[in-house]
Structure 1
Amino acid sequence: MSVDSPREIGERIAAHRRARRLTQTGLAAAAHVSYATVRSVERGARRPSDDVLEAIADALHVDAAQLRTGYVGAERRVHRALPALSEAIVGYDLPLGPPIRPPGQLADEIATATGWRLSAQYGRIAHAAPGLLADAIRYVHTAPGAEHRYAARMLASAARTADALAYKHGAHDLSARLIDLMRWAADRAADPLVQATASYVRTETFFAARAHAAGLVSLERAVDAAPPPTGRTEAAVLGALHMRAAVVAGRAGSADAADTHLARARELGDQVEREGTYLGTTFGPASVRIHEVSVAVSLGPEHVDRALRAAHAWKPNTDLPAERRSGYYIELARAQEWAGRPTDAFDSLKAARAVAPQHTREHPWAREVARNLRRFHRSDAESLSHFARWVGAA
């Protein structure tokens, strides 16, 4: 059950509707519900059912979890989609005929799904990803010679988006298989930037196995193989590798390596100058600053002051993807909890949930911090108890 009142849900819906410059009549038409339903929901006179909530969320181009805090339909859709993803990729090396979608439509839909990944809208990805993967695989096998590399780049992007579902929801074996598919596609794209991006994503397998030393070796090889940073895209791809290498080095307990990679990422961030998304990865000065907090937290509680200094009087701009902003607040909450600042830690968890509820709900560190706050700070407000139940830490 949602902890939100019908009025709170209605106010969120109304805010998103106005942001999209829709009237209530326009929203009703887009969602295929009655005007009376939209009006009563926005006034708080009616709690929307799951079906109505999802229809309104789709019309507003947001995930339903952004409208109702306790909504878990997206998680159910994700877990139902995992077997379909496995089926879609099991014969990826076998030609099974032409894709259903024409190449232009397939490219557009994969790009849309990439946007959903960056904004942590996993429920929407779950609906689309199996079909997109199946068509992207078929396109690789049937594309004319001149289009083959283009098709392979599309498949690498589709596999990465599908991997977000598997990895974030704990299906690490499936995640590893999707990453293998991404690397297979990247090799066929014969594009060193796509190959570098695949190496960046491959680090998830090392995170999942806690094999941080091996992960650092893998990333440092990718850094050596990456194209020189002669342009903005090349600098961003290389900078992202250094950012991730810094975090992996921190988790491996190598502070010197972490600092070296972070310093190089900072230089490349300055070279890129402005934040942007490059081959599906966000990079720029703000991302580097977020990773300064990540590296300090990865190094452990004895580096908590460093994490808090990096975060002092700063917060990520709303132009950054929701998943990255949510991750920042979760890691900051961990540092604040270590520092004995439970109120600040809970505020950061709430900020993470407001930005990307599905990402926060599935993040093990969000559960860990919420569990610790309840265990060691018995005077918590009732809202913390609600949050802990929602995130699965109760």
Structure 2
Amino acid sequence: MPRIVYRGVGTRIAYERRIASRTQEQLAERAGVALGTIRKIERGERGVSDAVLDAIAEALDIDPARLLPNRERPDDRVHQAMPGLAAVLAQYDEPEDGPCRRLPALREDVAALVAHRLSARYRSISRVAPGLLAELCRVVSTAGPDDRPEVARLLVKTCRAADAVAYKHGARDLSARLLDLMRWAAEQAEDAIVNATVAYVRTELHFAARTHAVGLRALERALDQAPRHDVPEAVATRGALHMRAAVLASRAGDGDSAEAHLHDARALGDRVREDTYQGTAFGPDSVRVHEVSVAVSRGGEHLGRALQLAREWKPPLELPAERRSGFYIELGRAQLWSGRPDAAFESLKVARRIAPQHAREHRWVREDAATLRRLKRADAESLSHFAEWCHAGVDA
């Protein structure tokens, strides 16, 4: 992936740093960037690489887009990673020679990648995923029988993180090929939970194609094959499948199945901590988020249930950022459809603050921002800025 250097961002960085009440020394420490580099950037004496831009934005807790001139878009970097991912997929079973590190180093890098996915840091994933995928394909092809299952599990997790980038940015063909690689790796993982994870993620194809009933049947088959024992990982595996099945059923117009799967998800959620399995959050709070999603998908009289849940409960900070952002995107749609456009706009802004890269690429955010801009002409300036930020109208 070619190295990108941004110019003319120093004054913006200095402005946002002062707004955040941080000194140059504090910013340098939080971002892991040399103090001298920060000073030169703010004085305009040097440009900013995409990696440094992300580190500074994360240290300031803002979207990197706020640091760039209007003509530049940071998500362009994600699209530039796509050819690298495609090249890896073209030769995953006959990888080219290259580095093959030991398992501890690979575990550490994959764990960091999963953390990026849960926090919806797609640009960070796009920098790392192509090289890590290529390396894991080399390692799994040469690993001995004792190590191959673990390497295969790491490959599945890495594919999932890369797929989050491809799917969210509309590269549907690349997403499908990553899912195929996940299935190939899962066969070597010798782990029923990994197989269930792949089944969970593969339903993206059905959400994209709107073949919800077909996806529901696939998940119900996966539930039949999922491990039945009571260790937390197995309980969370079945619970996550029930959560997603509930959403698929609601979008397929099968309200009874949606409620049945939600019921099972609640029962399983009460038996485990709110945690993650294979990068997917599950627990009582995740189930509540999906209750809102099901209510919004069913629409009509069910929207009141979504609004009631939001009045009674808010997702805690411990939930992954992508899931918390998703809650407010769903809530915004319920508010919009219930004739509360002001509240809907506030929810979309909350979603953006929590996970800007996730909100920016979400189809519903674009659709709802475009609708709000038409409805709320009195707030044209703020809505226009938001709509431009998320490219509303591009695919709404």
The aligned residue for residue 289 of structure 1 is 288
Structure 1 counterpart of 2:284, which letter?
P
The aligned residue for residue 202 of structure 2 is 202
The aligned residue for residue 378 of structure 1 is 377
Q: Secondary structure of the equivalent of 2:281?
A: strand
TM-score for both structures, normalised by structure 2:
0.88
Question: 1:69 deviation in Å?
Answer: 3.6
Conserved in 2, the CA contact under 8 Å of 1:32 and 1:55?
Answer: no
Question: 1:54 deviation in Å?
Answer: 4.9
Structure 2 counterpart of 1:248, which letter?
L
Conserved in 1, the CA contact under 8 Å of 2:95 and 2:138?
Answer: yes
Cα distance in 1 for partners of 2:171, 2:91 equals 19
The aligned residue for residue 118 of structure 2 is 118
The aligned residue for residue 329 of structure 2 is 330
Cα distance in 1 for partners of 2:140, 2:60 equals 31
The aligned residue for residue 16 of structure 2 is 9
Cα distance in 1 for partners of 2:32, 2:227 equals 49
Question: 1:300 deviation in Å?
Answer: 2.5
The alignment-based identity, stated in percent, is 49
- Please identify, of 379-388 and 50-59, the stretch whose mean Cα deviation from structure 2 is larger: 50-59
User: Using a 3 Å threshold, how does the CA distance of structure 1 residues 171 and 35 change in structure 2: closer, same or farther?
Assistant: closer
Conserved in 2, the CA contact under 8 Å of 1:50 and 1:73?
Answer: no
Cα distance in 2 for partners of 1:65, 1:55 equals 14
The aligned residue for residue 213 of structure 2 is 213
The aligned residue for residue 52 of structure 2 is 55
User: Using a 3 Å threshold, how does the CA distance of structure 1 residues 54 and 145 change in structure 2: closer, same or farther?
Assistant: closer
- Please identify, of 83-92 and 253-262, the stretch whose mean Cα deviation from structure 2 is larger: 83-92
Deviations 1:165-220 (A, max 9, x none): 10000011110110111111111111000000010000101111111010000000
User: Using a 3 Å threshold, how does the CA distance of structure 1 residues 64 and 307 change in structure 2: closer, same or farther?
Assistant: closer
Conserved in 1, the CA contact under 8 Å of 2:306 and 2:331?
Answer: yes
Say which of 2, 5, 26 aligns to 1:23: 26
User: Using a 3 Å threshold, how does the CA distance of structure 1 residues 240 and 112 change in structure 2: closer, same or farther?
Assistant: same
Question: 1:260 deviation in Å?
Answer: 0.3
User: Using a 3 Å threshold, how does the CA distance of structure 1 residues 138 and 61 change in structure 2: closer, same or farther?
Assistant: farther
Cα distance in 2 for partners of 1:69, 1:167 equals 24
User: Using a 3 Å threshold, how does the CA distance of structure 1 residues 92 and 53 change in structure 2: closer, same or farther?
Assistant: closer
Deviations 1:337-356 (A, max 9, x none): 00111111000000000011
Structure 2 counterpart of 1:327, which letter?
G
Question: 1:298 deviation in Å?
Answer: 1.3
- Please identify, of 238-247 and 62-71, the stretch whose mean Cα deviation from structure 2 is larger: 62-71
Deviations 1:347-377 (A, max 9, x none): 0000000011111110010011111111122
Q: How does 1:1-394 map to 2 (within 5 A)?
A: 9-11=16-18, 23-24=26-27, 26=29, 30-31=33-34, 33-34=36-37, 36=39, 51=48, 54-55=51-52, 57-58=54-55, 66-69=63-66, 71=68, 73-94=73-94, 96-97=96-97, 99-272=99-272, 274-380=273-379, 382-393=381-392
User: Using a 3 Å threshold, how does the CA distance of structure 1 residues 296 and 105 change in structure 2: closer, same or farther?
Assistant: same
Cα distance in 2 for partners of 1:357, 1:150 equals 33
Gaps of 5+ in 1: none
Question: 1:61 deviation in Å?
Answer: 5.4
Question: 1:318 deviation in Å?
Answer: 1.1
Question: 1:107 deviation in Å?
Answer: 1.9
Conserved in 2, the CA contact under 8 Å of 1:27 and 1:56?
Answer: no
Gaps of 5+ in 2: 1-7
- Please identify, of 260-269 and 379-388, the stretch whose mean Cα deviation from structure 2 is larger: 379-388
User: Using a 3 Å threshold, how does the CA distance of structure 1 residues 186 and 12 change in structure 2: closer, same or farther?
Assistant: farther
Please provide the CA RMSD for this pair: 2.8
Structure 2 counterpart of 1:364, which letter?
R
Deviations 1:10-63 (A, max 9, x none): 256656x99xxx73563587256445358xx6xxxx799971785253267569
Question: 1:122 deviation in Å?
Answer: 0.6
Structure 2 counterpart of 1:51, which letter?
V
Cα distance in 1 for partners of 2:44, 2:255 equals 51
Conserved in 2, the CA contact under 8 Å of 1:186 and 1:195?
Answer: yes
User: Using a 3 Å threshold, how does the CA distance of structure 1 residues 153 and 25 change in structure 2: closer, same or farther?
Assistant: closer
Conserved in 2, the CA contact under 8 Å of 1:206 and 1:212?
Answer: yes
Q: Secondary structure of the equivalent of 2:378?
A: coil
Cα distance in 2 for partners of 1:315, 1:116 equals 23
Cα distance in 2 for partners of 1:255, 1:86 equals 39
Cα distance in 1 for partners of 2:287, 2:370 equals 29
Conserved in 1, the CA contact under 8 Å of 2:12 and 2:67?
Answer: no
Structure 1 counterpart of 2:223, which letter?
V
User: Using a 3 Å threshold, how does the CA distance of structure 1 residues 28 and 185 change in structure 2: closer, same or farther?
Assistant: closer
Conserved in 1, the CA contact under 8 Å of 2:17 and 2:27?
Answer: no
Question: 1:102 deviation in Å?
Answer: 2.9
Conserved in 1, the CA contact under 8 Å of 2:32 and 2:55?
Answer: no
Question: 1:380 deviation in Å?
Answer: 2.0
Cα distance in 2 for partners of 1:340, 1:5 equals 37
Question: 1:121 deviation in Å?
Answer: 0.5
User: Using a 3 Å threshold, how does the CA distance of structure 1 residues 226 and 59 change in structure 2: closer, same or farther?
Assistant: same
Cα distance in 2 for partners of 1:134, 1:118 equals 22
